[in-house]
Amino acid sequence: EAGVTQSPTHLIKTRGQQATLRCSPISGHTSVYWYQQALGLGLQFLLWYDEGEERNRGNFPPRFSGRQFPNYSSELNVNALELEDSALYLCASSMGPSYGYTFGSGTRLTVV
Amino acid sequence: AQKITQTQPGMFVQEKEAVTLDCTYDTSDQSYGLFWYKQPSSGEMIFLIYQGSYDEQNATEGRYSLNFQKARKSANLVISASQLGDSAMYFCAISDSNYQLIWGAGTKLIIKP
């Protein structure tokens, strides 16, 4: 069974540009979660999508947005990139909390 | 609001020894879940173990066990017979009523040969 896949693995953008990160959940998982992990810090919750709808978002500005497609894959878009957006972005999928969340390997975004 | 506290920013442990990673939590929910994840230097988050708030038995998964003390709001991770490959960051998390995970700051575990 394929795990959670994220692309690209690495992404370098300049300040002011837009970044698009992609995530494919495990087959059968309908929930997708996005997290930001800045260097040396813990995970900060960004967005939760379930059945195509945004269910919850963390304390991030509106330039962080995303969507979930009918096949449950998801995109995270970051507009007007700032230097402090440089971080590891992790996607996780789940059937429900008691099953645990399966994470992808992440996309390392560097803003220069 | 939920909160997770991991008081050990870093630990050194001799190979083959057991290690306990501390985690305390704060929540007003009656029903919640507690998780431990491992993050090696590669960055991937690896699910280790889960404990539901109504589970009476402590969760165990191979060499991992969770010492759940509900009254003390404590959910420590115990790793028995540590191995060099256990060197990683370890994160404790609690799920809220929206299934959102609230994370601790993590503990960096280094296993010495």
Per-residue pLDDT of chain A (112 residues; tens, 9 = 90+): 679 999 999 999 999 999 999 999 999 898 899 999 987 777 888 998 988 999 888 889 999 999 999 999 999 999 999 999 999 999 999 876 556 788 999 999 999 9
Chain A contact present for B64, CB below 8 A? no
> Would you call the peptide bond into A8 cis, given omega within 30 degrees of 0 as the criterion?
yes
Q: Characterize the bridge pairing of strands B107-112 and B10-14.
A: parallel
- pLDDT of A1 reads 60
What is the distance between the alpha carbons of residues A21 and B99, in angstroms, rounded to a whole number?
Answer: 22
Task: List CB contacts of B32: < 8 A, sequence separation 6 or more.
Answer: B2, B52, B53, B94, B95, B96
pLDDT band at B113 (very low <50, low <70, confident <90, very high): very high
| Interface mutation vs chain B, best among A47, A94, A98, most B CBs within 10 Å | A98
How far apart, in whole angstroms, are the C-alpha atoms of residue B103 and residue B31?
17
The size of chain B, in residues, is 113
CB of B97 less than 8 A from some CB of A:
no
Strand-pair partners of A112: none
Residues A7, A16, A83: CA angle, nearest 5 degrees: 75
> A53-62: long-range contacts at Cβ-Cβ below 8 A with a sequence spacing of 24 or more?
A55/A31, A55/B98, A55/B99, A56/B98, A56/B100, A58/B100, A60/A36
| A101/B47 CB distance under 8 A | yes
Please tell me if residue A41 touches chain B, with a CB cutoff of 8 Å.
Answer: yes
Express each pLDDT in B47-101 by its tens digit. 899 998 888 899 999 999 999 999 999 999 999 999 999 999 999 999 876 667 8
Rounded mean pLDDT of chain B? 91
Quickly state the pLDDT bin for B19 (edges 50, 70, 90).
very high
Distance CA A95, CA A78 (A): 26
